[in-house]
Structure 1
């Protein structure tokens, strides 16, 4: 089942869609795969560039994992006013229930100033967990 959530920070709207992809065995343990598609929409009057990302990934069976890196999916997209940038990625958890939250490090290209754009917290849950 697909779920969608949005949040806007300083003229940049982030929308997340998640989907459960199934489970598989890895080193004799079951793992759960999830995908997410993120749309970053520039609703401001300035060009912006996504320079980095910071994620906290939660798994109900493990402690949080932190991921911090440059850009998104190997790119540092420049998004003009009124435009969108969409990408897809995923993660694998050791349990059927978890979540993610974080932010993008974004530069306002008019001022060369950086600001953080919140990524709305979202749950990752296999459909059978909700029963």
Structure 2
């Protein structure tokens, strides 16, 4: 994975990088079904240990319809990251339009009982089925 080309954001020493990929082999444009995977790398650049407890995503399609998805952890895990550690995972999302945008956050519990809200950078979901811009 070429993380140098990722969408990236750092919040209070927690770096979140995302690389989206359009899955043509799983999509059905003729049925308005467009599927993406997205790979996420969370890197603890701080000097404290954190545990990812919850996630929150806002997924917006090309018509401006937004769905909010919240839940515990990511991909069934609540990873703990000591200073310098990295956690990577891949997930996915469907849309009924050929493009969209995702953005979100992770609720990270700090070892002393405090919290950090680590922001997930906004990233675009673009498929080859999106028409060219008019202007």
TM-score of the superposition, structure 1-length normalised?
A: 0.90
Quote the residue 2:128 is aligned against.
Answer: 127
TM-score of the superposition, structure 2-length normalised?
A: 0.87
Secondary structure of residue in 1 paired with 2:83: coil
Quote the residue 1:87 is aligned against.
Answer: 89
Which structure has more strand as a fraction of its residues? 1
Q: Which runs of 5+ in 1 are unaligned?
A: none
Cα distance in structure 1, aligned partners of 2:86 and 2:18: 13
Quote the residue 1:24 is aligned against.
Answer: 28
Cα distance in structure 2, aligned partners of 1:130 and 1:48: 42
Secondary structure of residue in 2 paired with 1:129: coil
1:102 to 101, 104, 107: 104
TM-superposed CA distance for 1:115, in Å, is 1.8
1:61–1:94 contact (8 Å) kept in structure 2? no
C-alpha distance 4-130 of structure 1, shift in aligned 2 (>3 A): farther
Deviations 1:79-128 (A, max 9, x none): 1111100000000000111010010000111x210120000000001034
Q: Which runs of 4+ in 1 moved over 2 A?
A: 127-131
Q: Which runs of 5+ in 2 are unaligned?
A: none
Quote the residue 2:16 is aligned against.
Answer: 14
Matched residue count: 127
